[in-house]
Amino acid sequence: MTTTRPDTVVLVHGLWMTPRSWEHWVAHYERRGLRVLTPAYPGFEIEVEALRAHPEVIAGLTVPETVDHLAAVVEALDRPPLIIGHSFGGTLTQLLLARGLGAAGVVIDSAPTEGVRVTPLSQARSLFPALKSPANRRRAVAFSPEEFHYAFANTLSAEDSRAAWERYAIGAPGDWIWAYGLLANVTPGHQATWVDYAVDRAPLLFLAGERDHIMPPAVNKANARRWSRSPALTEYEELAGRDHWTCAAPGWEAVADRALDWALEHARPVGDRRVLGA
C-alpha cells in the first residue's frame, strides 16, 4: 500500500445553485495542482437557463437520491478526496463524511443536519418565500432578485447581487426546505439529514460568514457543537464581513485558500485504492 495526501477536491454546490457556482474555484484549485470535481445533484447537471425554463425536472428530487449519487462519485475515485460543500452542500458533505467518505471536509455557511434547533430571525425571513405556502413542497421554488439579495448577497450592491442572481440562481426543491428545515426536528423518527454525531469520521471544519442571513453563524456554531461526541477533529471559524455568497463575492480567493489549506493540513493519510485492489 502507498500512502499519500489527497489529490482531488470534490466541491458540492448548495440549493438554488448548480455546479456553475464553483466556476472560479475550479481553476483556482487546479493551479495548485489538484484535480477538481463539481458533481451536480441528479437533474442539476443541465445549464442554469434550462433549469429556469423547466424547474419541474428537479422538483421531485430527494435528499437520499442525492447523497447516494454523490457517494458514488467519491467512492469511484482512486483515493479519498477532500470534500468541500457550501450551504446545503455543507449538509451533504457532513452526510458523506458520516458514511466514512473523504479524507477531510470543509463546510461553508452550511445548512444544518438534523438536531440543530437554532433558527435566527434572518434565516426564517430568508426561507419564507419557500415556506409561505404548503403547495411549495411539490414545486421547485425560486428566489426573486430582491429575495436573493437579502438571503444570499446582502453585502453586495443591488446591482452586483442582481448580476449574480442572473448568472447562477435557479429554483430549489421545496420539500427540502420544508422537510429538512422547518419540520426536520418535529417529525417523528430520523430524517434524511440525520447523522450519528458520535461517529469517527474525517476531520471537519465549519466556516461561517459573520453577515450570512440564510445560514447565520449561530446555526453553524450549533451544528459544530453537535459533533462534540465524535472523536474526530471538528473546528469552527467565523469569516468577518462575509455573507452567504462568500464563495463568489469579492475576496472569495481567501475563503477558497483557507478551506483548502485547512483540509490539506488535517487530511487523514490516504491509501491508493488501485494498490489495494478496491
CA separation, residue 80 to residues 7, 22, 83, 93 (Å): 9, 20, 9, 13
User: Rounded mean pLDDT of the chain?
Assistant: 92
pLDDT tens for residues 60-108?
999 999 999 999 999 999 999 999 999 999 999 999 999 999 999 999 9
- Examine the pLDDT at 269 and tell me if it is beyond 90: no
More confident residue, 22 or 119: 22
- Mean pLDDT, residues 241-261 taken together: 98
More confident residue, 215 or 131: 215
pLDDT of residue 3: 60
pTM of the entire predicted model: 0.93
Grid coordinates representing 241 are 464581513
Domains in the chain, please, with CATH? 3-268 (3.40.50.1820)
pLDDT band at 229; cut points 50, 70, 90: very high
- Examine the pLDDT at 32 and tell me if it is beyond 50: yes
| Residues of the chain above pLDDT 70, percent | 92
Beta strand spans in the chain (E): 3-4, 8-12, 35-37, 82-86, 104-108, 140-141, 172-173, 204-209, 234-239, 270-271
pLDDT of residue 21: 97
- Examine the pLDDT at 276 and tell me if it is beyond 60: no
Question: For residues 222 and 256, what is the distance between their CA atoms, to the nearest angstrom?
Answer: 23
- Determine the straight-line distance between the first and last CA of the chain, rounded to whole angstroms: 12
pLDDT of residue 186: 53
pLDDT of residue 2: 54
- Examine the pLDDT at 185 and tell me if it is beyond 90: no
pLDDT tens for residues 135-152?
888 889 999 999 999 999
pLDDT of residue 189: 55
